[in-house]
Amino acid sequence: MEKNMSHIHDKMFKETFGNHVIAGDFLKAFLPESVRNIVDLDTLKPIKGSFVTQELKEVFTDLLFTAMIDGNDGYICFLFEHKSYPDKNVIYQIQKYIIEIWVNEDNAKKAETLPVVIPLLIYNGKNRWNYKTSIREKIRGFSELSGEVSRLLPVYDYLLYDLSAMDTDLKTVSAMQLILRVMRDVMQLGREEIIATIADIMVVFEENLEDDKITYYTGVCLKYVLSVKSDITKEDLLSIANHIPREGSELIMTLAEQLKQEGRQEGRQEGRQEGLQEGMQKGRLETTTKIARNALSMSLKVEDIMKLTGLTMEELDEIKREMPQ
C-alpha cells in the first residue's frame, strides 16, 4: 500500500512539474530574486532520464531541466522528497545527486568545466521541515575559519519548498497555484476539509473554462485527490456536483466513476498493479478525449489542442468525426 501510494504521489509530481510551463511558473513565483535574475526561464527545457541512483531511489524522485544560468548552460533540478516527515540526511544525499550529474557530464562530454546545478527540494510532509539547508550551518565553527581553510570544504546550500508552510490559497488563480494547493491539502487535511477543497477546485474550474491549462489540470488534480483519499465516496462527489454548473458536474462524476471502477477496485488489491495501470491509462485517455471535444467545440486552434492534450492530428480528426455536427 505504501509503495503504491508513493507511486501515486510521484506520478502527480511528474505529470505537473514535468511540464516546462508549470515548472517555469513555479520558478518565477518562488526562486529567490538573486537567483531568478540570472536564470533565463525562456530557455527552460525538460530533459529525459534521471540521476537518482539506486541508493537514492528511496529518498526522492527527480525532474531535470536545462537552462541558461548567468549566460552558461546549467541545470535546475526538482527533487520530490518521498518521506512524509523531515529527513536530516537529505542535505548529504543532495550532494551525492549533484556529483552524479557532474560525473556524467564529465564522462559524456569531456568538458573542461562543469555546469551550475541548482537543486530545489519539494517537501510535502505532514510536519514542517526543521533541518538546515546549508552545509555551512552544520560545520562546527565554520564562520570562524580562515579563507584558506574554508575553501577546502565542500560547502553548498539547497533551496527548500515546504508545501505545508506555503501559502497556496487560490487568491491569484493559476494552474500552478491549483496544483500546489491540491498537493498540500491531500497530505494535511482530513476527509471533510478535502471535500471542501474539491468544491473550491470546481469553482475555479467553472470560472476559468476558457483557460486550457486550468481546465486540463483540474482533471489531473481531481484524479490525484480521488486516488489518494479512498474514503471520499461517490455520494460525496454527487453532493458537490449538484451544486455546480453542468460542465463541472460532468467532469467530477466522470472521474469518480473511472476511479471507482477502473482504479480503486483493482489497484487496492495485492498483486493487481497491472490492472491499476491499465485502468488509469484508460481513464486518462477518456478524460483527454473529453477535454479535446470541449476544446474543439470552443473552436480552439488545433495546434493548441495538440499541445494541451498530447494527441496527434490523426487522433483529433477521429474525435472530430465522432462529434455531432
**Distance of alpha carbon 160 from alpha carbon 134, whole angstroms:** 10
* Higher-scoring residue by pLDDT: 152, 244: 152
Q: How confident is the model at residue 2, as a pLDDT? A: 53
Q: What is the longest distance spanned by two Cα atoms in the chain?
A: 78
Domain coordinates of the chain in residue numbers? 1-166, 190-325
Q: How confident is the model at residue 285, as a pLDDT? A: 72
**Distance of alpha carbon 246 from alpha carbon 250, whole angstroms:** 6
Q: How confident is the model at residue 199, as a pLDDT? A: 86
Residue 38 reports pLDDT greater than 90: yes
Q: Is 163 helix (H, G, I), strand (E, B) or coil?
A: helix
Q: How confident is the model at residue 270, as a pLDDT? A: 46
pLDDT for 160-195, tens place per residue? Answer: 999 888 776 655 568 888 999 999 999 888 888 998
Q: Is 45 helix (H, G, I), strand (E, B) or coil?
A: strand
Q: Where are the beta strands (DSSP E) in 244-302?
A: none
Q: Which residue has the cell 529567490?
A: 32
Q: Is 55 helix (H, G, I), strand (E, B) or coil?
A: helix
Q: Are 45 and 89 in contact (CB under 8 A)?
A: no
The CA distances from residue 322 to 211, 215, 318, in Å, are 24, 22, 6
Q: Are 117 and 102 in contact (CB under 8 A)?
A: yes
Q: What average pLDDT does the chain have?
A: 83
Q: How confident is the model at residue 273, as a pLDDT? A: 52
Query: Which residues, other chains included, contact 24 with Cβ-Cβ below 8 Å and sequence gap of 6+?
Result: 41, 44
Strands 116-123 and 72-81: parallel
Q: How many CB atoms lie within 10 A of CB 290?
A: 17
C-alpha cell at 255: 472521474
Q: Which amino acid is located at 206 in the chain?
A: E
